[in-house]
Every structure is written in structure tokens, then in C-alpha cells.
Amino acid sequence: MADGPLLVFGPRSLDYDFGAAHPLTPRRFGPGVELLRWVGAVPTLAPEPAEDRELLGVHTPEYVEVVRRFSADPDGQVGLAGIDHLGDDPPFAGMHQAAAAVVGGSLRAVEAILDGEVEHAYHPGGGLHHAMPGRASGFCVYNDVAVAIARARADGARVLYVDLDVHHGDGVQVIHQADPQVLTLSFHETGRTLFPGTGFVGEVGEGAAAGTSINVPLEPLTGPEAWLAAIEAIVPPVAAAFGPDLVVSQHGADSHAWDPLAHLLVTTSAMGTAARLVDRIAHRHAGGAWLATGGGGYDVYRVVPRAWAFTWLAGAHREVPHHLPEQWRLRWDDEARRHGQAPLPEYFDDLPGTAGVSAGRESAAARDAGTVGLVRLIAVPTLLRVAQERGWWAPVSLVARRNGLPEETPAWSAIAGGDSGTAEPEILDPLTAEQLDRLAIAPWTVAPADPGEAWALLRNALADQRTGAVGAVAGGRLVGLAMAAPLERSPLGGEELPPATDWLLALGVAPGARGRGLGGGLLRALVRGPDRRGRQLVALLTVAERDPASPLTADARRSAGRRLLAGAGFRELPVPGELGLADRHALLAVHVGQGVPGQRVEALRAVLAEG
């Protein structure tokens, strides 16, 4: 493997040029690539135009033809398909070849990753995430990241896309929103105040892909702490549940406090921390397979070069230098002053106070925390949320012995080869930690996606005496699970729950054991246990409760969930407040055990109704 991420840059990178007055300027490559070279990066992949057949994987033939016409005659065409002299995407001579070369750079980079030539690749000129199938948008003519993802999907890879640009990654979301094997995660300034006016929490996807579009709209004046807190709260558990084969990311520098086109107050230090988190995600879940792209960024001299260096260094697993090189600062200082972006900073990290201190930041952080809580409720499986809160599991950093498998079991490759689907499952009621010590877990029984990590989580959960579980076992593997534990506060709104209130943490059956009524049997056994007397059990099913490997449509999931819950004696309740608006497929239901006083039943319903 190369000493650091493969760096995509070449002469054609400078051709993507909307003109001297346009915010997205190729001037950024001068200081940006020079600083990358100084930290040790060497461009080794020069972009060349992608072929039409590759572009047509995500773009319409009519649109590609429109771009070709503008490319050949920029001044002889009437504005069409988002390309207009007065718009964000003005035509220029050679537009098609220049935009296709951006695609070609990301495409060849992802192919190098898929072929095992490199682990990581970085394309700072890529990340044109706004382009739609049939139109240009937001400085983006062709969508290079969407094409790269489509190429990976052609090889059968499951792809996690993380977008850290200040603008919503709308084009990538739209292009892949029907594919349940592509999960898009976008952290951006809210569409209420910034282009493209989309990316709200309720955009979760449809059909079998419901739950694979995740959006975290942040308030203007969001600072680095709140921005990082959002990323760290959502990306690791979502990645663990999804189990990607490849991570693709977009690291737009326009979320920085000095960027002239937006209103977030992020720092280069926070950007570097986020990039290192994405790197850790790629290594933990995707064998290191990671394509990073640059995206937006309009403070060309003070911010973009440092953001690019931080991203490349994250993939190179190297420390960030303290001082910017004096020679680099002298080289670019005059040009930066001519463009009103001076003085150049002395350090890679922003100085304290760069993001400013104001009541507006505190207010934004409070609203962001509410948004993040709602997104976690919708996008993170209940088992993972509660496991994090209880200390049963830590995403990314979890190191379990032998990948979480008990010492007396054979290697995972041998366990995975077993055929539990032909054996009649045995019900273990209750399932104990000691019993789990003699078992492996069949893939996709419950989250996380990695069976070893799932085993370690469940082992810790079952060691907690408050947890109750019923399991189904076949061929030495756990193939079904129903699990519950008491909660003191409602995940819906934080209100205190009545005494003796439990929450359904997991109900899962491995793919090979489905179609036998096992899920319903496990749930019925869980609610009829002798320890259920005098207790209530709440079940909340959101779009997060999905099988990434063999997903059903959202409507089918909802129907199956409703049937299972009703069959076990649950009563459905309205999904309250923002959750009901954001996830129209969500289900909320309560099982009331024998001997529960009526006033406690009403108290629980009142708490749940408040949301």
C-alpha cells in the first residue's frame, strides 16, 4: 500500500473553471496542492474524462447532450438544465470535458480501492455533490461522488456516504435514495437558511431504502463543539448497524467560520478530527476502504489548503504539524491579500476564538442537540442507543477478544459456514450470559452488523441483571433474539417514566431462520415471562429497525411490526410530536402486564404522548 492516501490531481484539475469571478475557483489548487506536497502527499493519479457510458450510470442522456452543446458553444445556447450565464453554473468552453475529468478522477480512485491497489484515496477537486441526474446545480455539473458510488455498487459493495460540506448533499441523496445498499449521511447548515433548501430530518428515504437517507440540519452559528458532537453521536453507530464495504466522504471546507458563503463556525481542528473519525470508521467496518473528496470551500488561501492537508493526513495516519511552513506563507501572502483573504494563519490549527463566542452559538448548540437527539431516535437502532448509554458497547473503539467471539468457539470463517437455517431452532427462555458464552451469532440477527461485535455487545447486556432476553438457537448459533430492559426516562422526550417500565431493545431473526413465526414466538415468550407481572413494556419501531442485508419496504416493515406487536398483546399508540412528523413509518405500542395499576397505565400513556 502507498505511504498515505492516493492523491488525485493533475493538469485537467485546473480546467473546471466557471470564470474569474466565480466562488469555486481553480486558484485553490495552487496553495492547496503545494501545502499537500509539504506534508508529504504526492499526486499520483491525474484525472482524465470519464466516458459517457460511465456518466450515464447516474445522469440522463439528454442532460449529457445538453452539457456537450454548452461545452462546444457556451454563448450560443439558451439557459437550460441548470446551466445559465446568470446562474450558479455558467457555461464555459470545454465544460463537458472538464466536468467529466472530475468524475474520472473519483472513478479511477474508487476502482483502485476496489481492486485492492490502495486503501485510501483523496480527490480534493472532487465532491461535486449537488449535480442531479438531469441538471447542474450549486457549482456542480456532473456528480463525481454519485458515479463513484454507482461503480462500487456494480461490484456489489455496500456504501456508506458521509457528507460534511456546509450544504446538503442533495444530489448524492437523490441519485441513490432508492438503493437500500447505499446509506447517505449529511451534516449541513439547515435548508431554512442556506442552499439548496433541503436536507431536513424527515427526508429518510422510501420503500426498501427507507432509513438510508439520514440528514442532520444544523443551525446558523453552530460552532466546532456542536458540529463534532453531532458527527460523533450519529456516524459511528449508524456505520456499525449498516456494515459498509466502502466509505465515501465529502469534506467541504465551507463549514469554516471564515467561509463567505455560509453561517457555520467550524474550525480546521474540528475538520481534522472529523476526518480522522471517518478514517477509523473505514478501518473498523470497511477494511480501510475509503474515498475522500474535497467539495466546497471559498476561503481559498486561509482555509481550503489547511482543510485539504488535515484530510490527507487523517488517511496517512500522521500527526498534523504545528506551524504552517514560512515559505508557503510567503509564497501565497500577496495573492491572498489581493483577494481579501489575508493575513494567512501561522498554524494548521485555528487559534482559540476563531469561531467566536456569543449567545447565538449557545442557542444554536441547544437547538442542534435537540436535532441530534431526534435523528438518533430515527436512525440508530434502539439496541445500539441504549447499549451506548449503558456502557455495554462503544462504537468504533470497541476491542473485543478474538473479534468478540468466545474463546472456545472456532474461527469466525468456520462458524459462518454453518447452516442454521435447516435446523429447528431451540428457544432459550431466558437467554443468559453463560449460555451466550457457548454460542456464536448468525449474521444480521441484530445490530451491529459485525457478528463478533454483536456478540460482545449482547454479552455485556446480558451481564446486566436488569436485562431480560429470550433467544432462539440452531446449529450452535443464536438465530433469534427478543430483549428488553428498564428505562428511567423516555427516549421520546426525556421525561421520567413510571416505575416498572421496560423498553423493547431488540427483536431480530437471522435471514436463514425467517418465515417460521420465530419473531412472534420470541416476543410472546418475552412478554409472558414470570417476571413481567406488574410491568409495562414499550416498543418503538423507527426506520432504523431494518435489515441492511435483506431490507423490506418501509410499509412491509410497518405491517410486519404491527402484526408482531398485536400478536403479543401490545396496544398501538399515536407516535407523538416531531418523531411522528419526521418518520411517518414509526410505530409506538405498549404491553401492559398483569397486575399493573390503572393509574400507572395512564401515567405511561401521558408521558409517551408528550413526546
Give the residue numbers annotated as catalytic, written as ranges.
130
Phi–psi pair at 5, nearest 5 degrees: -60, 140
Q: Cα 546 vs. chain centroid, distance in angstroms?
A: 15
How many whole angstroms separate alpha carbon 86 and alpha carbon 501?
60
- What is 378-429 written as a DSSP string? HHS-HHHHHHHHHTS--TTT---GGGG--TTS--HHHHHT--GGGSPPEEES
Q: Which residue has the cell 400513556?
A: 605
- What is 266-319 written as a DSSP string? B-HHHHHHHHHHHHHHHHHHSTT-EEEE------TTTTHHHHHHHHHHHHHT-P
How many whole angstroms separate alpha carbon 113 and alpha carbon 248?
11
C-alpha cell at 396: 468504533
C-alpha cell at 69: 452543446
The burial of 533, by beta-carbon neighbours within 10 Å (0-12 exposed, 13-18 middle, 19 or more buried), is given as exposed
CA distances from 51 to 83, 99, 103, 108, 533 (A): 21, 11, 9, 12, 66
Residue 520 per-residue DSSP state? H
Residue 288 · residue 272 · CB < 8 Å: no
- What is 86-114 written as a DSSP string? TSSS---TTHHHHHHHHHHHHHHHHHHHH
Residue 450 per-residue DSSP state? S
Phi–psi pair at 607, nearest 5 degrees: -65, -45
How many whole angstroms separate alpha carbon 454 and alpha carbon 464?
16
Does the bond joining 381 to the residue before it have cis omega, within 30 degrees of 0?
Answer: no
Residues 6+ apart with CB under 8 A from 489: 495, 496, 497
Three-state DSSP at 334 gives helix
Does the bond joining 47 to the residue before it have cis omega, within 30 degrees of 0?
Answer: no
How many whole angstroms separate alpha carbon 343 and alpha carbon 334?
9
Cβ-based neighbour number of residue 133 at 10 Å: 15
Q: Where are the alpha helices (DSSP H) in 448-536?
A: 451-463, 518-527
C-alpha cell at 220: 446558523
Residues 6+ apart with CB under 8 A from 223: 265, 266, 355, 356, 361, 364, 365
79-85 contact pairs (CB < 8 A, 24+): 81/134, 81/135, 81/136, 82/132, 82/135, 82/136, 82/137, 83/135, 83/136, 83/141
